Structure 1
């Protein structure tokens, strides 16, 4: 039973509908705000686009991302990246700290911030950073773009542009999460592609401001601002190695040698701290992603075995863990269990080891053992996302739809914007023969994917199956009214 990462979806099939939705939102936003003014650089309030309009744009953009870009749904990866962002958020000057995290399943270096408090990260960002401080610096930089509302400022600069160009700008942001997004833009807007690429690129002043604010965020969060120029150096090196193919991140975040030097000089102004170290979890998740992006499972096994055999490489637990994950990918759960049991002897309560062991036990068909391990871990870590997710997986594998649905309902309450959870909940409710539950879960999934008509149909079917006066019918009716209002707004 393999649920590590989802299969990729074709991006282009949904692109036209994404552009239409983006265009409608942006036309409303720009039309309602022509007389507004933005603050000068350095301020974060006001703007050509109101915060409410930004939220609406963000909702449409996120729906487009869900439809067009394969995402990482591995709960261990998500939990780690979520934790890192929320280590930084208290130090970021954000008005809205309820972020939506999109983890794009791509080995390329990329991250982006979109109006509506959306932060996107490519899995390759973790792989290409050589330290947690470097990785976190990109997240801090993107949080700075959000806090300074740089997207709205770019809109102000382009307020006289044709509507199609504005819509293309938003579509470009969506496609920046997809491999070879420049080709997608060219295919849709033809000769305007270069203009849109220029619009997507943040200005030098905005980038410098995001560098400055991002370093402040890092320092205040107890991380090392020197990670930012170090990460810039890695990006510059990759740029040189790739020749004419500009990395996605640099196509929207222009990077020059002078900017790298400026960031290094600024970083050196912060006091040196000897107590800043990478977390163990960063290195474990990095190994996990390295296995995922390996060309084959056998190559991943050989790579991590080679690390352990080389005298010049420190034999870390992260390397051993990478070998265990590689064995899992290679359909060899017995070898994975042997490695994980050794790791657990020294660190019996590390959630990542326990959850990965449960994955291996499920692959062995030892569902009772997996359930027991996970329940013990959940007693120690109430509400933990990864543990609860895998408990649901165990119950699903064992045919216990009702128990799986209870775990998944808890997760959807805590993380209602993760569409794959609603899909899994619909499956569990079907297994439990709760047809109303199936319709409700499918409705939430369709709403997140931007198909409000389908969500409306699902809720109407749920409503029809509930007796008048039932409390659940009232809940369904209220949600149906919300979806209908959104649909009417979109059509008007």
Structure 2
């Protein structure tokens, strides 16, 4: 937590320093009220570099199944949105609070708690569509232009508040100095006009994607009612996306003029993912068991049955979990999410060979599935098949090079295989993705000390060293 406070202080100091250093850093400026402060390509680079800080400070939810569901939902909405640059990166944060955010450069972040707070997939989609609209309307750039009319600020200052909320999983950062807190809140909050624009564009996206556009005003209205009379601090999402009665009424009126839903997606996937997160965010695994035993006794729905299976697995009650699995109807066992859960269940029950076989069989049905390949690698590693795990993690790191977790796991497996130079190279990539440039350069030094380096290995190390120094310099100029 101290490290996070220090980082945020630095970001704010860099923001203030931009008043005298804007020309030195050659920051682009707005020409009129409709132009962008920075180009889409510059936004892309800024977003990717800011995401390095996010990875280093905020815990990611290491759940390939839930992540794939969320990413699929974003990509279901994206073609219907007005977003110009569609190089989108989705982050699912291991944070039980209710929040979502969009950062210039195509960064969409969702706290796990948001999925728990939504009652339907349409509500979740409405928040995602709203965040996509902030990107398509270039609201961050507009906000920066408005700030510069009175006091020049770098975009980094506006993004610091997002980092606070993303990294604060226990409320420990909620009490900040009044000056820093007010500054971040003012920089991050969107104007009423911005919110109305995002509502309008977001509802159009929802309707075009086959969702009920009324899900958006219904979601925001329910949130407002739930927190209006509480003395507690409202969720970060309501602080940065202020909701008023007039805004809800206006958005509801607009939604009623849009087409009603068509080609609706199955609600089952949403319910299953919500059960996964309910188990994950339970205070204890035993509490999860008690919750889902009671829920299943009251109503043996698919979501409650699946949640009970997950709870037993999490609590190490493998015999009970197997009993639940054997009793699952085919309508559930035919679901890819449930099929992949079987792999997790077998790994946790210390049956990695069976898990590996299950993964191979499913990959024949769903070739190239990202979560399946991640689970296959996990199963292979658990079974002691390190060469196979290495092969799969190398494929994943190649196909998804910005996923830091794959590089971390690759370094672990290469270490088990005594591949020393491979460990260094994977660690360097991990440190680059998590903004730990000093550690990345230290790994380069360690690697150069290894005996018998080939010319190809020396060339790769030299390239990684140049990249680390270049990104570090670029981030100094951006932030």
When normalised by structure 1's length, the TM-score is: 0.88
Alpha-carbon separation, structure 1, partners of 2:145 and 2:239: 20
After superposing the two structures, state which structure 1 stretch, 396-405 or 11-20, moved more.
Answer: 11-20
Q: Does 1:268 align with 2:253?
A: no
Q: Is the 8 A contact 2:441 2:468 kept in 1?
A: yes
Assess, with a 3 A threshold, how the Cα gap between structure 1 residues 263 and 345 changes in structure 2: closer, same or farther: same
Q: 1:194 aligns with which of 168, 177, 182?
A: 182
* 1:86 aligned partner: 75
Assess, with a 3 A threshold, how the Cα gap between structure 1 residues 124 and 35 changes in structure 2: closer, same or farther: closer
Cα deviation for residue 396 of structure 1 reads 1.6
Alpha-carbon separation, structure 2, partners of 1:185 and 1:484: 34
Q: Does 1:259 align with 2:253?
A: no
Q: Does 1:145 align with 2:134?
A: yes
Alpha-carbon separation, structure 2, partners of 1:15 and 1:128: 28
Assess, with a 3 A threshold, how the Cα gap between structure 1 residues 453 and 195 changes in structure 2: closer, same or farther: closer
- Deviation per residue, 1:404-423 (Å, 9 max, x gap): 11111111222222212211
Q: Does 1:32 align with 2:53?
A: no
Assess, with a 3 A threshold, how the Cα gap between structure 1 residues 328 and 404 changes in structure 2: closer, same or farther: same
Q: 2:93 aligns with which of 100, 104, 120?
A: 104
Q: Is the 8 A contact 2:144 2:154 kept in 1?
A: no
Higher relative contact order, chain-length normalized (CA < 8 Å, sep 6+): 2
Cα deviation for residue 214 of structure 1 reads 0.5
* 1:433 aligned partner: 418
Assess, with a 3 A threshold, how the Cα gap between structure 1 residues 34 and 469 changes in structure 2: closer, same or farther: closer
Assess, with a 3 A threshold, how the Cα gap between structure 1 residues 465 and 163 changes in structure 2: closer, same or farther: farther
Assess, with a 3 A threshold, how the Cα gap between structure 1 residues 78 and 180 changes in structure 2: closer, same or farther: closer
Q: Does 1:225 align with 2:210?
A: no
After superposing the two structures, state which structure 1 stretch, 425-434 or 344-353, moved more.
Answer: 344-353
Cα deviation for residue 479 of structure 1 reads 3.1
Instruction: Please give the residue correspondences for 1:308-327 in structure 2 after superposition, counting only pairs within 5 Å.
Output: 308-310=296-298, 313=299, 315-327=300-312
Alpha-carbon separation, structure 2, partners of 1:360 and 1:165: 48
Assess, with a 3 A threshold, how the Cα gap between structure 1 residues 476 and 224 changes in structure 2: closer, same or farther: farther
Residue 102 of structure 2 aligns to a residue whose secondary structure is strand
Residue 112 of structure 1 aligns to a residue whose secondary structure is strand
* 2:44 aligned partner: 55
Assess, with a 3 A threshold, how the Cα gap between structure 1 residues 466 and 118 changes in structure 2: closer, same or farther: farther
* 2:289 aligned partner: 301
Q: 1:131 aligns with which of 102, 120, 133?
A: 120
Q: Is the 8 A contact 2:318 2:349 kept in 1?
A: yes
Residue 331 of structure 1 aligns to a residue whose secondary structure is coil
* 1:479 aligned partner: 464
After superposing the two structures, state which structure 1 stretch, 318-327 or 411-420, moved more.
Answer: 411-420
Cα deviation for residue 162 of structure 1 reads 5.2
Assess, with a 3 A threshold, how the Cα gap between structure 1 residues 219 and 242 changes in structure 2: closer, same or farther: same
Q: Does 1:291 align with 2:279?
A: yes
* 1:16 aligned partner: 6
Residue 130 of structure 1 aligns to a residue whose secondary structure is coil
- Deviation per residue, 1:418-475 (Å, 9 max, x gap): 2122111110110111111111111111011112232233234445548676444433
Give unpaired runs (5+ residues) of structure 2: none
Give unpaired runs (5+ residues) of structure 1: 1-10, 41-45
Alpha-carbon separation, structure 2, partners of 1:448 and 1:141: 27
Q: Is the 8 A contact 2:203 2:216 kept in 1?
A: yes
Q: Does 1:237 align with 2:225?
A: yes
Alpha-carbon separation, structure 2, partners of 1:394 and 1:301: 25
When normalised by structure 2's length, the TM-score is: 0.91
* 2:349 aligned partner: 364
Cα deviation for residue 86 of structure 1 reads 0.7
Alpha-carbon separation, structure 2, partners of 1:115 and 1:479: 26
Residue 343 of structure 1 aligns to a residue whose secondary structure is coil
- Deviation per residue, 1:369-413 (Å, 9 max, x gap): 111111100111111122111111112222222211111111122
Assess, with a 3 A threshold, how the Cα gap between structure 1 residues 223 and 38 changes in structure 2: closer, same or farther: farther
Q: 1:416 aligns with which of 398, 401, 411?
A: 401
- Deviation per residue, 1:335-373 (Å, 9 max, x gap): 222222333644444222222112221222212111111
Assess, with a 3 A threshold, how the Cα gap between structure 1 residues 488 and 294 changes in structure 2: closer, same or farther: closer
Q: Is the 8 A contact 1:92 1:143 kept in 2?
A: yes
Q: Is the 8 A contact 2:353 2:383 kept in 1?
A: no
Q: Is the 8 A contact 1:15 1:68 kept in 2?
A: no
After superposing the two structures, state which structure 1 stretch, 112-121 or 407-416, moved more.
Answer: 407-416
Alignment RMSD: 2.7
Q: Is the 8 A contact 2:207 2:259 kept in 1?
A: no
Assess, with a 3 A threshold, how the Cα gap between structure 1 residues 464 and 95 changes in structure 2: closer, same or farther: farther
Cα deviation for residue 167 of structure 1 reads 4.9
- Deviation per residue, 1:172-208 (Å, 9 max, x gap): 1211323389974864x65253243122110000000
* 1:442 aligned partner: 427
After superposing the two structures, state which structure 1 stretch, 164-173 or 349-358, moved more.
Answer: 164-173
Residue 159 of structure 1 aligns to a residue whose secondary structure is helix
Alpha-carbon separation, structure 2, partners of 1:150 and 1:490: 22
Number of equivalences: 473
